[in-house]
Structure 1
Amino acid sequence: MTDIPTTDEPTIEGFIAFVHNVMGVPTGAQPDDTTCENAFGLAQDLAFPEIRRVSTRLYRSAVYNLAASFLVQMAPDAENSSPPHFWQNLRNKLGISGFAPGIIQSSSDNGTSQTWAIPEGFKNLSLADLDALKNPWGRAYIAIAQQYGTLWALR
């Protein structure tokens, strides 16, 4: 088992260790280096940079969780992956391919009715934010980012 490096700055090596140790991706289903690098690079480009001013540890966690969310959305299954179709099965389980235009605010039928209050922070989520909410790593990123700013509709 590879330990996650303890440097405060996010690294590709730290992300790969995160994929194995935190996400629990089996060794036989690990994505190739290019896929990991793409997911990690996107997360570095898009993670809310103000988090770093508060805590480099939180920023590292935010980058790794956002990269994991991207990885779930994009990782292909290798022909000989073990278990077979790991990424496809994970995307199906999480409902990644389904379109979610927003959050249900109310529903009713002839005998019942209910309405959920929409938290203020959810009212202006982007499509990328809604996609991130479909997996636990994206939700972890959004939870961290919403604590620190209003960029990308995070309030």
Structure 2
Amino acid sequence: MSSITIDAPEARSAYPSKTVSAKKNYQAVIKISVWILGTIIFCLAMVDFYAQTYANETGFALQSMKDELLEVNKDLRISDIDQYVVGSPTVQTRPADKYTHICKQMKQYTWKGFFKTYSISIYLGLGNNPSIDFVHCQGDTKEKPTSLTSIFPK
């Protein structure tokens, strides 16, 4: 005969081990917290990405349209640029900070991201419907040459 010992119900623990379930709960809380934090950071980065994209697209469109119209001896006017502005930037009109020998007024379009602010500056000529003389984007590091002597020095 085999001897099987059966413990009386009073000898067994009434509660299961808490260390295993507490460890599983702790790991689940950590995983959920990391996913929530990652999702929040991703959403904030997307807001910044769209602000940067809108500013770059607007600056590129204005510069290329100005160059196209310049080839046929026409000016890009301030009344024509609304169709090229992407997103909903804030617009401020200021006196020209640079190029004051050419322009008297500047419009600054600003897109606010979460981490950074992106802007382009449009320098205007004189008159009721002034021409756009210069478009400066944030990424521009070098000015466009104004004459052939600056491109091909003697």
Shorter-chain TM range is: under 0.3
Q: Which has the higher strand share?
A: 2
Task: Name which structure has the greater RCO, CA cutoff 8 Å, separation 6+.
Answer: 1
Higher-Rg structure is 2
Normalization by structure 2: what TM-score?
Answer: 0.23
Normalization by structure 1: what TM-score?
Answer: 0.23
